[in-house]
Amino acid sequence: MKNLRLKALLRAGCFSLALIGTAMNSAHAGGLERGGYDIDLLFDPAPFASDMGATYVMPQRDLKNATDTSGGGLTGKSTARNTEGYWVPYIGFKASLGHDVDCLVDYSQPWGASSNPGIWNGSYSNIQTEIKSNNYAGTCSYKMDAGKGQLRFIGGVFYQEVYGFKESYADPAFGTTIGRVDLTSSGWGWRAGIAYEIPDIALRASLVYNSQVKLDNISGTLNIGGSVTDIYAPTESMPDSLELKLQSGIAPGWLAFGSVKWVNWSVLQSVPICSQATKALGCTTISPYPIRLTSLDLMYRDGWTVTGGIGHQFNEQWSGAAQISWDRGTSHGYGDQTDTWTLGGGVAYTPRPNIELRLAGAIGVLTSGHSGTLADENGYVAGQEVSYDFGNDLVTAISGGLKIKF
């Protein structure tokens, strides 16, 4: 009976967090977060394991009562759908290197943004924005006996590419001429953490820190009506994060889990974009034209995410899980990223002991608010092109995955 109980708990524990985590994180995350960082595969007890999956997110953020405040005199559409659906892929491979060492290599897309309101009263602010990322990571852990369980020390590095474009009306002085900014950059980061596990009761507590990724090579082009200028931005950083995860068996085949995550989104405020021709003069948010040509205004505050859920193994082949999550919005007066509440659930089918198929979904509410002007610490004021309102909107996501162990 004890062995059956242990098997049920471990199977529920291995499956539940991975099953709906990506769908939930992608559906409610603030800032530029999409898949975020995920190293749960590192804890899989199998000697070798591979995991691949994808999530499709469908946010439906609608802007209304949009008023042009740029001086350009736009009096067209006062409403717009600001968001687009997007995919979040993941693939990882884990191997045990001896009795005490496990290593994971994975590919993910932790950051991104997809906004396409088109031509509207806020076209001097944004017509279309697309930001993407690639993350290549290697993470290892060393575990040792400690009391009734095992203590695990975690460390790793990752290389990150961040790139994208933004289109908007260039400036009221140019009329309705569209300007396009294309930028690309890359950098390295590292992670460190600690975990404690008691397999007999499917207990695991982990605390993992992911460092900032310093982007000191941001460069690209600015195209206004066919006139192309080489541009750059000063060094920026993608945010660091700290996440605490907890799980424990609570009855045969039942597991409770939760997490608290902090992401330092306040490192991204207004990103000035300047001409390469004037690089010797520096580049700040208050640099005059033609040194500062434009900017990417984000004006984020730190993000907090709290989750809790429960998983259950129904039989040898089927498991299920449900989770609720709250994400504190990173916008605070400028932008439309307010608090989000999300409910997710899913099932896992194990036709053979070494194969697991997963299907999960999430539905959430993007809470209402208003976007206007907001000043940074240097006195730069974002949001001077448009003001708008937004109500409570829907976000949904669907996720599928396949895990193979051997």
User: What is the per-residue pLDDT for 21?
Assistant: 56
User: What is the per-residue pLDDT for 12?
Assistant: 38
Residue 72 has pLDDT above 70, yes or no: yes
Token couple for 9: 């708990």
Residues 284-292: what's their mean pLDDT? 94
Residues 6+ positions from 315 with CB-CB distance below 8 Å: none
Q: For 351, phi and psi rounded to 5 degrees? A: -70, -30
Reading across the β-sheet that carries 62-68, which strands appear in turn?
80-81, 62-68, 386-390, 369-371
Residue 1 has pLDDT above 90, yes or no: no
**DSSP string across 307-330:** EEEEEEE-SSSEEEEEEEEEE--S
User: What is the per-residue pLDDT for 2?
Assistant: 40
Residue 9 has pLDDT above 50, yes or no: no
**DSSP string across 1-43:** -HHHHHHHHHHHHHHHHHHHHHHHHHHH--TTBSS----GGGG
**DSSP string across 203-228:** EEEEEEEE--EEE---EEEEEETTEE
User: What is the per-residue pLDDT for 98?
Assistant: 86
User: What is the per-residue pLDDT for 27?
Assistant: 61
On whether the CB atoms of residues 383 and 334 are closer than 8 A, the answer is yes
Q: For 385, phi and psi rounded to 5 degrees? A: -95, -30
Mean per-residue pLDDT of the chain = 92
User: What is the per-residue pLDDT for 209?
Assistant: 98
Residues 160-185: what's their mean pLDDT? 97
Q: How far apart are CA 404 and CA 213, in angstroms?
A: 31
**Can the peptide bond before residue 290 be classed as cis, meaning omega within 30 degrees of 0?**
yes
Residues 6+ positions from 46 with CB-CB distance below 8 Å: 94, 96, 354, 405, 406
Q: Which residues pair with 244 in a beta bridge?
A: 207, 260
All structural domains of the chain:
1-405 (2.40.160.60)
Percent of all residues in the chain with a pLDDT value above 70, rounded to a whole number: 93
Residues 172-186: what's their mean pLDDT? 96
Residues 6+ positions from 99 with CB-CB distance below 8 Å: none
Q: For 372, phi and psi rounded to 5 degrees? A: -140, -135
Q: How far apart are CA 338 and CA 62, in angstroms?
A: 13
Residues 71-95: what's their mean pLDDT? 96
Task: List, for residues 18-69, the tens digit of each pLDDT value.
Answer: 555 555 565 657 899 998 999 999 999 999 999 999 999 999 999 999 999 9
User: What is the per-residue pLDDT for 23?
Assistant: 56
The CB density around residue 377, as the number of other CB atoms within 10 Å, is 7
Residue 288 has pLDDT above 90, yes or no: yes
User: What is the per-residue pLDDT for 7?
Assistant: 43
Maximum separation of any 2 CA atoms in the chain, in Å: 78
Token couple for 22: 């990506």
Q: How far apart are CA 334 and CA 340, in angstroms?
A: 16
Token couple for 20: 């709906």
Residue 378 has pLDDT above 70, yes or no: yes
Query: Phi/psi class of residue 97: alpha, beta or left (left: φ > 0; alpha: ψ in -120 to 50)?
Result: beta
Q: How far apart are CA 347 and CA 318, in angstroms?
A: 7
User: What is the per-residue pLDDT for 128?
Assistant: 98
Tell me the three state secondary structure of residue 264: coil
User: What is the per-residue pLDDT for 30?
Assistant: 86
Residue 211 has pLDDT above 60, yes or no: yes
Residues 6+ positions from 293 with CB-CB distance below 8 Å: 222, 229, 231, 273, 274, 275
- Tell me, what amino acid is at 253? G
The CB density around residue 286, as the number of other CB atoms within 10 Å, is 12
Residues 156-173: what's their mean pLDDT? 97
Q: Which of 15-19, 78-82, 254-258, 388-392 has the lowest mean pLDDT?
A: 15-19
Residues 329-335: what's their mean pLDDT? 96
User: What is the per-residue pLDDT for 366?
Assistant: 96
